[in-house]
Structure 1
């Protein structure tokens, strides 16, 4: 009898959810969607593909993540509508709005709108333990450093940070998985990661060999924070098996973005799927612990999509002024 009651209740809930979904105005919704992520082996790809699949399943629309060059390219793809959604960091977003995105210099990419807060991207350095590199000061002159895919947040900012700290290096680019393999094979001396933690490529390296995760000194951290749009951040000790204590770092906020011309009801529905159940997002990637409604205020750069703004106003008490909402 208890089993029968539970079954009936479950059916009732399912029918109720279906009926609620049928009341949503789907006028103009696309038949499918893509989410611009980054290279395989990085956090963007794992996180972005995960929420794309979740949204596709919940809303009954075909969709998924797409491998891209990262935040700069995602801004371009979403601005032009070649991708409905994407992911970016605040630095590349600001540069894209100003028309200094290297993909299309002189073009202000103003048709990419903020959708929801994702997480902070820490900047961290990894080397093989066998290299003897345990600090930024230990990095040898002319070191071969992998900075991630060309045009990514890491490639855009980390070389400048290294130069600011007085490091002379040979610049290398590639996907995170590929760079991790090159580090292990001795083809690189260091990898400079800008990605949500734990970075899949670093976790994989830890399984295969001994690595050093190098933190900034207090002085180095202060120097970088003064010169770049980043904030103080500590990589928690439990993030990697290699760490025995929190590692001093800096970070930059990431936001999901949507083409500003997408229907309001569609974007609102997507935001609801992602933001209404944080446990599901954390199951996709641990970095999603910060994918919570209260972090809506971390966007001070992009115009909000009307559908996203509506969700945060109604569900998070967000005080988003009309001047920051696209089309208002």
Structure 2
């Protein structure tokens, strides 16, 4: 894993490079903008990396800056990196965000990570289970005691919540961690029995597995779904039948919302321009990843956990009719 580099400030002359919506920003606004930026994502083979790389490149191109994605441990680490300023932007889910703000992030226990601000809604993360068809595992109740389950990178949303979910559902397992692509290879090689994915769909690693072998995408029963809703910060979700070639009908799941986050100290005009690039043309975002079908202005209200960056709040108030309370805006 590489470590994102802290951003530097560059001269207002760079404003001449701006494209698209950035042309509306004055030189004075751009004088404090960073010359480069990093977006904390997660492991390769997961939705965070594909989605995050895409919007980082889009923003860099449109704003005339140098920017890109960094492989990280996922939402928990992204909260830490953004809070400390080691990454300008990141991506997180509501559960890890709430735990981080409360000082319960395992990376830095006791540190209240309040310098990570919400900037735009991304999509819902479904929790789903995948096994090889040859395993005979077709339901959660089929998972044998002692099954080797891959829960994703340590500290990821999946690793944070899915083991607890399996405990709730009475599954006994051996816990394994790793990047999604690596875990997919281990499943195919028989080194794992199950992968418990928490990632936007379609998950690249699952799509790749489908090409190479026969898999079972396992849905929760109605009872299991309700157990999880009662115990965790998740809601009902269905994985559409056309998400994977393996599915013949929608699969019952639960999900948690994801938001893009930013260092709260970044200039308002910069964050406002970033949000404008991402939110003003949903077709471009969907071309990056299908999960972006939910990256819509009207989903601003899915954040009930994090303070908003002032520049992002202004964009949603002006363009989406958002009514964001002052006490939910950083510095408000």
Instruction: State TM-score, norm by structure 2.
Output: 0.93
Name the residue aligned to 1:303: 307
**Match 1:255 to one of 255, 259, 284:** 259
Contact 2:19–2:64 (8 Å) recurs in 1 = no
Name the residue aligned to 1:87: 91
1:154 aligns with 2:158: yes
Name the residue aligned to 1:276: 280
Structure 1 distance, partners of 2:92, 2:115, is: 14
- 1:60-209 maps to which residues of 2 (within 5 A)? 60-209=64-213
Deviation at 1:25, TM superposition (A): 1.6
Bigger Rg, structure 1 or 2: 1
Name the residue aligned to 1:26: 30
Quickly say closer, same or farther: Cα 1:141–1:65, change in 2 above 3 A.
Answer: same
**Match 2:321 to one of 306, 317, 327:** 317
- Runs of 4+ with deviation above 6 angstroms: 14-18
Deviation at 1:27, TM superposition (A): 2.6
Task: Report the secondary structure of 1:110's partner residue.
Answer: coil
Structure 2 distance, partners of 1:19, 1:262, is: 19
Structure 1 distance, partners of 2:117, 2:157, is: 18
Quickly say closer, same or farther: Cα 1:59–1:15, change in 2 above 3 A.
Answer: closer
Structure 2 distance, partners of 1:79, 1:280, is: 29
Structure 1 distance, partners of 2:245, 2:46, is: 18
Contact 1:24–1:265 (8 Å) recurs in 2 = no
- 1:7-18 maps to which residues of 2 (within 5 A)? none
Contact 2:20–2:63 (8 Å) recurs in 1 = no
What is the root-mean-square deviation of aligned Cα atoms in Å? 1.3
Name the residue aligned to 2:9: none
Deviation at 1:15, TM superposition (A): 9.5
Cα shift readout 1:112-171 (whole Å, capped 9, x = no counterpart): 000000000000000000000000000000000000000000000000000000000000
Structure 2 distance, partners of 1:113, 1:196, is: 21
Cα shift readout 1:268-295 (whole Å, capped 9, x = no counterpart): 0000000000000000000000000000
Cα shift readout 1:290-320 (whole Å, capped 9, x = no counterpart): 0000000000000000000000000000000
Cα shift readout 1:206-229 (whole Å, capped 9, x = no counterpart): 000000000000000000000000
Contact 1:113–1:260 (8 Å) recurs in 2 = yes
Most deviating of 21-30 and 49-58: 21-30
Structure 1 distance, partners of 2:158, 2:22, is: 42
Cα shift readout 1:40-77 (whole Å, capped 9, x = no counterpart): 00000000000000000000000000000000000000
Name the residue aligned to 1:8: none
Deviation at 1:105, TM superposition (A): 0.1
Structure 1 distance, partners of 2:63, 2:177, is: 37
Quickly say closer, same or farther: Cα 1:285–1:55, change in 2 above 3 A.
Answer: same
Contact 1:234–1:248 (8 Å) recurs in 2 = yes
Quickly say closer, same or farther: Cα 1:235–1:33, change in 2 above 3 A.
Answer: same
Cα shift readout 1:180-223 (whole Å, capped 9, x = no counterpart): 00000000000000000000000000000000000000000000
Name the residue aligned to 1:217: 221
Deviation at 1:17, TM superposition (A): 6.6
